[in-house]
Structure 1
Amino acid sequence: MDGQRKAAGELAFAHAGAAAWCCVCGGDMKRNAVIAGGGLMLVAIAVLSYWLLRGSRALVYSGTVETREIEVGSKVGGRVTDVAVEEGQMVKASATLVRFEADELKAQLAQSRASVDQAEADLAKMEHGNRPEEIAQAEATARVQQAAYEAAKNGPRTQELAQAQADFDAAQADAVNAEATFKRMAMLVRGETISRQQYDDALAKRDTTAQKAESARQRLKLLQAGTRKEDLDAAEQRYLQAKAAAVLAQRGFRKEDIQAARGRLAQARGHVEELQARLREAELTAPADGLIETVSVRSGDLVPAGRIVLTMLESSQLWVRIYIPETEMAKVKVGQQATVTVDSFSGRSFTGHVMQVNASSEFLPRNVQTRDDRQHQVFGAKVMIDNPDGVLKSGMAATVLLP
């Protein structure tokens, strides 16, 4: 192309010079002078045209309009309940595309939110400390246990010993009296003076009074022996435990416990956020304005997690893929303005710019041996196209002009 422009310029220059020379040689002097001036202007115009042609050198490339393809899928999957779009339909960003069944996720989310409420309540209780009523109750319990420990340590009182002795004496007297009555009844029953029932009643009373007397005797012995060491130790431990609980109630919770409660709350909130994110995946929405190209599911389908359910073309992301020879790489820069025409709209041009130039080249012949063969070494590039009214479609043949 450069050789053709150069040859055309030199040819125009030669034709203009020849015309000027012919004009100078013919006619009278005055007329020849006018014609010579015109010939010089033609030469100047020819020279200027040559240099303009040489300096413009617009780069022309062919390619095909391409667009970004978006594959839409769900990270959770499940049973499809609704497909809200069809193939070939234009959609706006955030429009609902596909819905999945999410009853289980909703139930899990409700449980997690309840766990958050519980964790918040526990943390608030720890941070605020125990209520005055709880502290008073713990102190009262400690005092009761202290009294029980002191009683166990001091042993029974004199009055308790005297009462136990009196109870034993009375029970012993009743037992002696019942024994004597029984003996008389035994003699009378042998002579058939009394009935057998009266004898049995006397026997039962003798045994009952004897048992009561023995029980009173054992109780008296326990009081006289005092509190056992095991019981005293147990009473002391109950008192110390209640006292420690009262002190803890007054001091409140430790910093470590509060920090642990905060950790449990953060964990519960994180679980809620995780379930909310999974629940959002149960309703797929359009990430951008575009055209629905394929839909591979329908209502009732059971879709595994991660499967692509539809593809769409992002209409706002259009470009032409071109290939630039190595010999023209110095004339192409990222951000350079471009003019694009397509066969479908022959009378209209579209603006664009060079978005990307590949860092590595591609060879048409694998081994380049000569300088002329280097024109077959090309660099792929993307030229973004402005498509405000959306008339350009993927697959259209396009021509790119770079000034």
Structure 2
Amino acid sequence: MSGQSALPRESPLPGVIAPAPVVRGRRRLRPILAVVVVMLLGGAGVAWWLTQPPAVTAFVHVYGTIDVRQSQLAFNNNDRIARILVQEGDGVKRGQLLAELDTTRLQANADKAAADVEAARYTLTRLRNGSRPEEIVQARAALAAARATEANDRLTYTRYAKLARANAESQLNRDTAEQALKVATANRESAGQALALALEGPRWEDIKVAEAQLQAAEAALAFARRQLADAQLDAPADGVIEDRILEPGDMASPDRPVLTLDLTNPIYARVYLPERELGQVRPGMRAYLETDAFPGERFPAWIGFISSTAEFTPKTVETTEVRAELVYRMHVYACNPDGRLRLGAPVTVVIPRKGNTPGDNAPAARGAQPCG
């Protein structure tokens, strides 16, 4: 019975009373109460921590990788490649000759167009100058000869007509003399018109036609020379040759790239800005790039672009933030004259919060800040 179990038992030793047994239920209850108390205290601490405002740090840290802009270089013409002057990995400067096409046909077209321009120019000059003095003298002489012939034929006709009326000459000779006079009169009128044209010069319409023909020939020459210039492939900017796609002897065309050029200066880091930092970071602000390849070194940079559309953090971006958090894609530009920042290298972008206004870096907002 429960009342008897609580009484002290007799000890096997004389005169010693045995202690009362400990209740087992109390032993189990004490650890459970301790765990509950710890959980309550921990929950209260977590709730207090969550309600506290986040600590404001001196820098914004975002993470991403180095990205390099590339240009696919192709000839703006169709012909066979004569030579390629660069190899993969070569550094090139803006305007440097990289490759050339076979110019045999293009040079012939340019020469023909130049000759057409010369011919059209001389034709226009001749029309503008009008008739030469010798041509006018010749026209006057032709008119004088026609007048003399007409006068002689008129006398002959008058004589034959008088004799025919007296029946001293045949009617046939009279008619022949009359027709010769008509021909002489027409020749005299033609010579007079020829002299008038020689004195007046060419029509203004003919001059306009010659001017238009000269303009067409000059346009054809400019096009031929442009085609000849397009036979050379020049570097559009400083960079490094990434790949030789075609080789000498291949047929080039505007839709077939010959070389791939990496525009390595400036480069930019493709990073993702958390939504809560959007109000603190603006284009044109100063920043620094840190990379594992050069520990302890910071590369000066500037904020160039912030996307206007939110997205979820890509799985390839390693950050300490929750991956489901909304972020904004951002480009952070940096000068890279030594080529130490390579494509695909992971970087940490450090953006100072204080004393960092975009006013002094306005061109940087468009990624146009020069790199000396």
TM over 0.5: yes
CA distance in 1, matches of 2:189, 2:312: 90
- CA, structure 1 residues 302+236, in 2 after alignment: closer, same or farther (shift >3 Å)? farther
CA distance in 2, matches of 1:343, 1:236: 107
In structure 2, the partner of 1:226 is 176
In the alignment, does 2:237 pair up with 1:288?
yes
CA distance in 1, matches of 2:252, 2:151: 74
**1:327 and 1:375 in contact (8 A); partners too:** no
CA distance in 2, matches of 1:132, 1:313: 68
**2:81 and 2:248 in contact (8 A); partners too:** yes
**2:306 and 2:330 in contact (8 A); partners too:** yes
- CA, structure 1 residues 399+149, in 2 after alignment: closer, same or farther (shift >3 Å)? farther
Q: Write the deviation string for residues 244-296 of structure 1: whole angstroms up to 9, x where unpaired.
A: 33222222233333232222111111111101111111121211221111112
In structure 2, the partner of 1:383 is 332
Q: Aligned runs of 1:341-356 on 2, under 5 Å? A: 341-356=290-305
Q: Aligned runs of 1:28-39 on 2, under 5 Å? A: none
Q: Aligned runs of 1:94-243 on 2, under 5 Å? A: 94-149=95-150, 151=152, 155-156=156-157, 158=159, 222-227=172-177, 236-243=185-192
- CA, structure 1 residues 335+221, in 2 after alignment: closer, same or farther (shift >3 Å)? same
Task: State the one-letter code of the partner of 1:393.
Answer: R
Over the aligned positions, Cα root-mean-square deviation in angstroms equals 3.4
68-77 vs 231-240, which deviates more? 231-240
Task: State the one-letter code of the partner of 1:337.
Answer: R
Q: Write the deviation string for residues 52-90 of structure 1: whole angstroms up to 9, x where unpaired.
A: x73x54211111111211111112121121121111222
| Structure 2 unaligned residues grouped into runs of 5+ | 1-47, 164-168, 315-320, 353-372
CA distance in 2, matches of 1:244, 1:136: 14
CA distance in 1, matches of 2:110, 2:207: 25
CA distance in 2, matches of 1:277, 1:393: 37
CA distance in 1, matches of 2:71, 2:334: 19
In the alignment, does 2:350 pair up with 1:401?
yes
In structure 2, the partner of 1:63 is 64
- CA, structure 1 residues 235+327, in 2 after alignment: closer, same or farther (shift >3 Å)? farther
In structure 1, the partner of 2:28 is none
CA distance in 2, matches of 1:150, 1:82: 80
Task: State the one-letter code of the partner of 2:174.
Answer: Q
**TM-score, scaled to structure 2:** 0.68
Instruction: Pick the structure with greater CA Rg.
Output: 1
Q: Write the deviation string for residues 301-346 of structure 1: whole angstroms up to 9, x where unpaired.
A: 2234432111111122311111223322211211111111122111
The count of aligned residue pairs is: 292
Task: State the one-letter code of the partner of 1:119.
Answer: A
**1:326 and 1:374 in contact (8 A); partners too:** no
- CA, structure 1 residues 395+239, in 2 after alignment: closer, same or farther (shift >3 Å)? farther
Which secondary structure does the structure 2 equivalent of 1:226 belong to? Answer: helix
1:307 to 235, 256, 259: 256
In structure 1, the partner of 2:310 is 361
**TM-score, scaled to structure 1:** 0.64
CA distance in 1, matches of 2:264, 2:218: 39
**2:312 and 2:324 in contact (8 A); partners too:** no
248-257 vs 281-290, which deviates more? 248-257
Q: Write the deviation string for residues 191-249 of structure 1: whole angstroms up to 9, x where unpaired.
A: xxxxxxxxxxxxxxxxxxxxxxxxxx9xx8753323566x7666555444433332222
CA distance in 2, matches of 1:234, 1:82: 74
In the alignment, does 2:87 pair up with 1:86?
yes
**1:338 and 1:353 in contact (8 A); partners too:** yes
- CA, structure 1 residues 90+373, in 2 after alignment: closer, same or farther (shift >3 Å)? closer
CA distance in 1, matches of 2:272, 2:154: 103
CA distance in 1, matches of 2:92, 2:172: 93
- CA, structure 1 residues 376+244, in 2 after alignment: closer, same or farther (shift >3 Å)? farther
Task: State the one-letter code of the partner of 1:285.
Answer: D
Task: State the one-letter code of the partner of 1:249.
Answer: A
Task: State the one-letter code of the partner of 2:264.
Answer: S
CA distance in 1, matches of 2:266, 2:117: 44
In structure 2, the partner of 1:76 is 77
More helix by share: 1
Which secondary structure does the structure 2 equivalent of 1:93 belong to? Answer: coil
Deviation at 1:400, TM superposition (A): 0.9
Task: State the one-letter code of the partner of 1:323.
Answer: Y
1:322 to 250, 263, 271: 271
- CA, structure 1 residues 122+57, in 2 after alignment: closer, same or farther (shift >3 Å)? same
**2:84 and 2:248 in contact (8 A); partners too:** yes
